[in-house]
């Protein structure tokens, strides 16, 4: 029970690692029989908000104030009259009145972001749902030991991307990345070592990471089972100022 003040959680100027022992739950306005663990928000310097919503049977998350992406981690949720199970996901554009309803206990990763309009483009206006297992994997830069699944359509109407990345044990990013996009990352299974800035962290299922723009980053998967994470990034807008 007592860790004598020790945790793997860390907060540095260009990244945040939050491990489940430090999660704090609170209801959000518009929630019923549910609670949120707010992993990152503008309060920490991010330009999006990501939280885990935990629902009891009959729980509800009301409509978002911004566009919203939901990925079901476990249990079953209903959105826009559709039942979504673990590995299913949904997108709701700004202004959507859709709620998220739990028929039984469930957990979901929720990403919300104010929409950044393209000067001469049509905004994303339709909601959609999908199933991760039906999305074709792409090898990362030709490496079949790292599979990337794109959950948001490749369309400039969307100002963010959400992918899953699955690493076979021993697979690693081919380089230390440092880029203008920020990331929200939730470990879904397995584990490994994440380099963030000048630090190397052991990470595992359940951990959350925020990487600020230009945070040097690298991951290598360890253990006997694949490591898999859900990763958000701002996309299609980086050169707009």
**Binding interface with ligand UGY (CB under 6 A):** 165, 177, 183, 217, 219, 231, 233
In the bound state, the residue with its beta carbon closest to ligand UGY is 217
The item of Mn ion, ligand UGY, none sharing an interface with residue 77, based on CB under 5 to 8 Å by kind, is none
Cα 99 to chain centroid, rounded: 19
Give least dist CB 94 to Mn ion, A: 25
The item of ligand UGY, Mn ion, none sharing an interface with residue 193, based on CB under 5 to 8 Å by kind, is none
Give least dist CB 140 to ligand UGY, A: 7
The item of Mn ion, ligand UGY, none sharing an interface with residue 228, based on CB under 5 to 8 Å by kind, is none
Establish if 177 lies at the interface with Mn ion (CB under 5 A).
yes
Q: Are 68 and 115 in contact (CB under 8 A)?
A: no
The item of Mn ion, ligand UGY, none sharing an interface with residue 231, based on CB under 5 to 8 Å by kind, is ligand UGY
Size of the site for Mn ion (CB under 5 A): 1
DSSP string, 169-183: TT-B-SS-B--SS-E
The torsion defined by the Cα of 7, 10, 11 and 14, in degrees rounded to 10, comes to -170
Stretch that binds Mn ion, among 99-107, 152-160, 173-181, 199-207 (CB under 5 A): 173-181
Bridge partners, residue 77, by sequence: 84, 102
* Rounded Cα distance, 57 and 49, in Å: 25
Give least dist CB 161 to Mn ion, A: 11
Q: Are 186 and 230 in contact (CB under 8 A)?
A: yes
Give least dist CB 15 to ligand UGY, A: 11
Q: Considering only CA atoms, which of 152, 154, 148, 144 is closest in space to residue 136?
A: 148
Give least dist CB 193 to Mn ion, A: 16
* Rounded Cα distance, 232 and 215, in Å: 14
Q: Are 206 and 187 in contact (CB under 8 A)?
A: yes
Using the minimum distance from each CB to Mn ion, give the nearer residue, 106 or 188: 188
Binding site for Mn ion (CB under 5 A): 177
């Amino acid at each position: 029970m007592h860790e004598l003040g020790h945790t793997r959680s860390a907060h540095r100027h260009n990244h945040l690692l939050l491990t489940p022992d430090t999660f704090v739950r609170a209801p959000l306005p518009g929630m019923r029989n549910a609670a949120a663990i707010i992993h990152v928000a503008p309060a920490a310097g991010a330009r999006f908000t990501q939280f885990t919503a935990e629902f009891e049977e009959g729980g509800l998350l009301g409509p978002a104030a911004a566009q919203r992406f939901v990925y079901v981690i476990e249990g079953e949720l209903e959105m826009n009259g559709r039942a979504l199970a673990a590995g299913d996901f949904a997108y709701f554009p700004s202004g959507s009145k859709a709620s998220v309803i739990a028929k039984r206990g469930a957990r979901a990763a929720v990403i919300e972001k104010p929409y950044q309009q393209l000067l001469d483009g049509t905004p994303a206006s339709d909601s959609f749902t999908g199933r991760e297992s039906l999305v074709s994997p792409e090898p990362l830069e030709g490496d079949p030991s790292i599979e990337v699944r794109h959950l948001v359509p490749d369309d400039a109407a969307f100002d963010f991307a959400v992918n899953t990345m699955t690493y076979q044990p021993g697979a690693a990013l081919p380089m230390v990345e440092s880029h203008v996009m920020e990331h929200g990352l939730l470990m879904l299974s397995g584990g490994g070592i994440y380099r963030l800035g000048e630090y190397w962290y052991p990470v595992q299922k359940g951990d959350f990471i925020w990487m600020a723009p230009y945070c040097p980053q690298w991951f290598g998967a360890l253990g006997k089972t694949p490591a898999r994470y859900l990763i958000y990034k701002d996309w299609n807008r980086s050169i707009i100022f």
